[in-house]
Amino acid sequence: MGNHLQRTSSTKQTMTDHLAAIQSLKSRDYWQKYCVCEDWYEADFDYVVKQILQQNASQRRKQWECATIFLNLAHHGMFSGDKVGAAFGAGREKLLYIIAPLTQAFHATDLYTMQTVWKTANIKRFNTPEEFVKAAAPAGSNTDNMKVHDMDMRDLSYFADDSLDFCYSACAFEHIGDRDDFIQHLKEVRRVLKPGGIYSMTTEFLFGDATKTLPHNYKFDLEYLRELFIESGLDTAAEFDGHCDSSFANWPKPPVDSFMAKGLSNRFPTPFLYLEGIPYTTCNFLLSPQQGDQPLTFAAPGMTRSINLMTNRSNQLIKSTFNTWQLLDPYNRLRREVKNYLADHQEYLIEAGFALNIEENLVNGFLVFTDYIHLSDFPAKFKVQYDISGYAGNITWQVFEKEAMRAEGRQPILKQTTKSHQHQSFTLAFQPKADRVYALSAQLVANPKNAQININNLLVWLKAKVE
């Protein structure tokens, strides 16, 4: 018992020193902004990454989320030991085990079930959510004052009015539903926070494009978020920092997951992602219950320039990527559909959900379905080579068009039928639209259910005539 108390006391003293160091290095009063590479060079941010999270700087979004949430809470005195806090959509993230010992009481909440596709909340092999979360605590962690709840972010009825000093969520908000669900959650947050309490919330952030309403995976534009906060009766900090340095590290990551060269994603350590022609990253908002007659909202200095910068860089990315033939993954969309719009969360999802079953797809008639690619309005061509045996029917090839980041609404714009003879090669030329994305599919016309089909070779390339 004595050794345990001594170790706990030593840990508290170390954290006290850390918090003092963070305050002395403070680069800004609050972190309300979107993620940019230069944040890793801020003294207090760098300190939190290396000393608190005990990680190497990675320029990964999740690291940024954890660091900025910690900084917001630290700069507002939430680690004094007498505060009550909660995390929503908490999973088993490392931040739980760092923050809990710094509070009087701490609540980790998520939809902890055996059915969820999220690794961080799937409680399989555990009797309770509390066992599941505490089993992942790093050695030496003190979780005595942590309670764990199976809780929907839209229903915080477990908490009394004005009962929390702070709360936070790390890119969970966008997954809870649609606009009414977002409003419901934020109004619940307003209800449970004490006067002067704070909510540090990270979520997905778009540059200039209107909010993308992907089911349970929204990506937000700035004005949409502003409207949500105002309608929910939450004040924001006065300024949303919209500045972005023009350094090379702030380029959107190429759509490498669409290509056959696997394992490339980790070679592009950038906080800016790029999906179907749309650049996006993570943002953090610092919210508190409305105090005046109207909710306080924010200015966004630097935002217009940053939107123009990202738009120009996205166009340059198309030119530099598709000015030569690029070998695509022909099976991209034949993997589980959830993969394509949750690819940026893949490390947190149960891997079995991404399995590619060629035999199952062939039974259903599918041979090829590439990822959707944005090509602006540059004339483009798909080139195909294949060698298939064991199937004597025709193959229908189609170029599909749809709106970017929209799960439905695809339309075929070009169709070609080929024979299944071995060693076929052909091209499909088309004229893209600047506000659409394109994919190539192939289906077996005859029912191949009992056929013994062998795919000896199947290659799909894409090229655009850029100017």
- What are the pLDDT digits (tens) for 127-167? 899 999 999 999 989 999 999 999 999 999 999 999 999 99
How close are the terminal C-alpha atoms of the chain, in Å?
73
pLDDT at 369 over 80: yes
152 token code pair: 């929907």
Distance CA 362, CA 360 (A): 5
Which three-class secondary structure state does DSSP give residue 332? helix
pLDDT at 416 over 90: yes
Kind of pairing, strands 146-150 and 105-110?
Answer: parallel
Could you give the maximum distance between any two Cα atoms of the chain, in Å?
Answer: 79
- When the pLDDT of each residue in the chain is averaged and rounded to a whole number, the result is 88
pLDDT at 323 over 90: yes
Distance CA 250, CA 40 (A): 12
Distance CA 424, CA 115 (A): 44
Of 430, 440, 398, 431, the C-alpha closest to 416 is: 398
Locate tokens 């909340």: which residue?
121
Among 11-15, 202-206, 385-389, the least confident range: 11-15
Identity (one letter) of the amino acid at 378? F
- pTM value? 0.90
Domains by residue range for the chain, with CATH? 2-320 (3.40.50.150), 323-464 (2.60.120)
Phi, psi of 417 (to 5 degrees): -110, 135
What's the mean pLDDT in 378-401? 91
What's the mean pLDDT in 214-233? 95
The predicted-structure confidence for 26-73, as pLDDT tens digits, reads as follows 999 999 999 999 999 999 999 999 999 999 999 899 999 999 999 999
Distance CA 358, CA 353 (A): 15
Produce one character per residue of 457-467: b if its CB has 16 or more CB atoms within 10 Å, e if not: eeebbbbbebe
442 token code pair: 């192939």
Which three-class secondary structure state does DSSP give residue 129? helix
CB-based contacts of 235, cutoff 8 Å, min separation 6 = 229, 287, 288, 289, 290, 291, 292, 295, 296
Dihedral angle of Cα 70, 76, 79, 80, to the nearest 10 degrees: 170
CB-based contacts of 450, cutoff 8 Å, min separation 6 = none
